[in-house]
Amino acid sequence: MKIDFVSRYKIFVTISLVIILVGLAITIFQGLNLGIDFKGGTVIYVNIGKPYSPDDIRSILSSQGIQATVVQVGEDKQDALIRMRYMENQSEIQKKLIEALKEKYNLSDERFSVDTVGPTIGRDLTRNAILATVISWVFILIYVAIRFEFRSGVAAIVALVHDVLIMVAAAAILRTQINSPFVAAVLTIIGYSINDTIVIFDRVRENQKKYGRSLSWAEIVNKSINESMTRTINTSLTTFLTVTALYVFGVESIKEFSLPILVGIISGTYSTIFIAGPLWVEWNERSERRRVAAAK
């Protein structure tokens, strides 16, 4: 079965735009669920060493007027991960909380691990995350432009920007935290997704040499995507199943990394098949129409 991807290009772009706009609307009205990596705060890891109820810890937090999240983690769910947003008198509040937990569960200092991120470090992390993403796009653009052509490079970058926007939109819709693991997942997907896009453009180049002007740009891209689609889907599906296993059986920190990766794999496969190639065709055909119109 041969699918005409190029003629349905606007439908595929519309689907992506709807998801991105829903995520944008949620971001405007509710904001993103930024982790303490970006907003500053403290993560307290407690090895309680016996079964406990997270509601008991939430009661302690509530009694002290602390806004924080509690997640049951570790082997047999006997550890607790407490995330507190940055507050004034952070050290004093943190000390009181630890003392209350020691008294409640009869714990020693060795049972606690505390990581604190200041607001300044959070702003630095935000800037560095954006910088790392943009720099990766620039180097990929240069690489693809040299290996293929400039328009292929731009089409590949548009597909990667699409992937990042879908990941952020999904995080906004699902209210998952945007933190360091999320940034790592975004950079991983940028590197992963470009591989499939390069495979498509490689096949486009081969078919251009093989068929020359006997086929249009749209026919060349449709043929190339159809020829590469099985390989693209199989590769993505294998990776998707592996990461799904990590998400299902992994600890909390692994879940925070693997969930955006799963979204990114779906988005990357979608943009590789439905966005990058058709966009390249659209650009070439518009340039050709302008050239013909100018020549008249």
Residues 149-165: what's their mean pLDDT?
92
Q: For residue 178, report the phi and psi dihedrals to the nearest 5 degrees.
A: -100, 110
Residues 242-267: what's their mean pLDDT?
90
For the chain, state the CA radius of gyration. 24
pLDDT for 159 equals: 93
Helix orientation angle between 150-174 and 180-211, rounded to the nearest 10 degrees: 150
Q: Do residues 272 and 193 lie in contact, with contact meaning Cβ atoms separated by under 8 Å? A: yes
Q: Pull the structure tokens for residue 289.
A: 């129409």
| Alpha-carbon separation of residue 295 from 100, 290, 292 (angstroms) | 81, 9, 5
| Res 256 pLDDT > 70 | yes
| Res 211 pLDDT > 80 | yes
Tell me how far apart the alpha carbons of residues 103 and 58 are, in angstroms, rounded to a whole number. 15
The secondary structure element, H or E, covering residue 295 is: helix 277-295
Tell me how far apart the alpha carbons of residues 217 and 237 are, in angstroms, rounded to a whole number. 29
Q: Pull the structure tokens for residue 221.
A: 């891209």
| Beta bridge partner(s), residue 34 | 178
HSE of 134 in the Cβ direction (CA atoms, 13 Å)? 6
Tell me how far apart the alpha carbons of residues 127 and 183 are, in angstroms, rounded to a whole number. 12
Higher-pLDDT residue of 167 and 251 is: 167
pLDDT for 61 equals: 87
Q: Do residues 71 and 252 lie in contact, with contact meaning Cβ atoms separated by under 8 Å? A: yes
pLDDT for 265 equals: 95
Say whether 176 sits in a helix, a strand or coil. coil
| Res 52 pLDDT > 90 | no
Q: Do residues 6 and 222 lie in contact, with contact meaning Cβ atoms separated by under 8 Å? A: yes
Residues 273-284: what's their mean pLDDT?
92
Tell me how far apart the alpha carbons of residues 83 and 69 are, in angstroms, rounded to a whole number. 5
Percent of the residues in the chain that have a pLDDT greater than 90, as a whole number? 32
pLDDT for 220 equals: 92
At 119, the pLDDT band (50, 70, 90 cuts) reads low
In terms of Cα–Cα distance, which of 278, 257, 118, 137 is closest to 194?
137
Give the best-scoring range by mean pLDDT among 69-73, 129-133, 252-256. 129-133
Q: Do residues 280 and 221 lie in contact, with contact meaning Cβ atoms separated by under 8 Å? A: yes
Q: Pull the structure tokens for residue 6.
A: 């190029």
At 1, the pLDDT band (50, 70, 90 cuts) reads low
In terms of Cα–Cα distance, which of 55, 52, 63 is closest to 93?
63
Residues 20-28: what's their mean pLDDT?
95
Residues 206-233: what's their mean pLDDT?
90
Q: Do residues 256 and 243 lie in contact, with contact meaning Cβ atoms separated by under 8 Å? A: no
CA angle 178, 141, 11 (to 5 degrees): 70
| Res 251 pLDDT > 80 | no
| Alpha-carbon separation of residue 217 from 141, 273, 279 (angstroms) | 21, 15, 11
